[in-house]
Amino acid sequence: MKLGRLNHVGVATPSIEASVAHWRDVMGATKIHEPFDLPAQGVKVCFVDTPNAQIELIEPLGADSPIHGFLAKNPLGGQHHICFEVPDIHAARDEFIALGKRVLGEPRIGAHGTLIFFVHPKDMGGMLTEIMETPNGNH
Ligand SMILES: C[C@@H](C(=O)O)C(=O)SCCNC(=O)CCNC(=O)[C@H](O)C(C)(C)COP(=O)(O)OP(=O)(O)OC[C@H]1O[C@@H](n2cnc3c(N)ncnc32)[C@H](O)[C@@H]1OP(=O)(O)O
Ligand SMILES: [Co+2]
């Protein structure tokens, strides 16, 4: 696979509102985007910009949210996934599968509007890994 830019670090939180205050007041973030619901992924999302990547705050949305289990184990929240860009999402998916990695579902539209997929943390050194097609402008 051709490893691209680190796009974001996903951080699960029980409260985006409380996390926004942390990133603003403790970490000094100056550009924090408006939160929005992403029902197709079962999360509410809020991007915090850093100079070279984003922090993606995710709060559970709905009873089927994929992050309920993580928050049950980590009630404070915490680092949930890392996301790297690739030029060709379908080629990347085929390559992970060929390496025997568990790709979690079909590529789907993520929070940046491009296709994403996830690879199981137990096949990735303990890190839930999100792969996303490079958004226009990041090339
Ligand atoms: C909006 C979007 C975007 O950026 O565009 C997003 O990011 S949405 C981000 C939210 N969406 C997703 O995460 C979708 C993909 N995720 C999934 O399909 C699931 O969450 C899985 C990763 C398969 C985990 O499933 P589940 O929560 O049922 O966990 P489980 O209890 O079966 O966990 C199995 C083992 O994996 C570990 N495990 C679970 N989640 C983990 C995580 N985030 N990082 C590292 N390890 C993790 C558990 O501790 C457990 O280990 P032990 O057995 O050793 O205790
Ligand atoms: Co993400």
Does the CB atom of residue 111 touch ligand 1 within 6 A?
yes
Take residue 27 and report the two structure tokens written for it: 């970490």
Spatial distance between the Cα atoms of 136 and 55, rounded to a whole number of angstroms: 19
Per the CATH hierarchy, to which homologous superfamily does domain 6-133 belong?
A: 2,3-Dihydroxybiphenyl 1,2-Dioxygenase, domain 1 (3.10.180.10)
Q: Whose CA is nearest to atom 51 of ligand 1?
A: 122
Q: Evaluate whether ipTM surpasses 0.85.
A: yes
Cα(106) to centroid(ligand 2), Å: 15
Q: Which helix (H) or strand (E) holds 79?
A: strand 78-86
- Condensed to tens digits (0 to 9), the pLDDT of residues 57-74 reads 999 999 999 999 999 999
- Condensed to tens digits (0 to 9), the pLDDT of residues 29-53 reads 999 999 999 999 999 999 999 999 9
The residue assigned the tokens 């996830």 is 118
Take residue 79 and report the two structure tokens written for it: 């680092």
Q: Is 107 within 8 Å of 119 (Cβ atoms)?
A: no
- Closest ligand 1 atom to residue 111 Cα is 5
Cα(4) to centroid(ligand 2), Å: 15
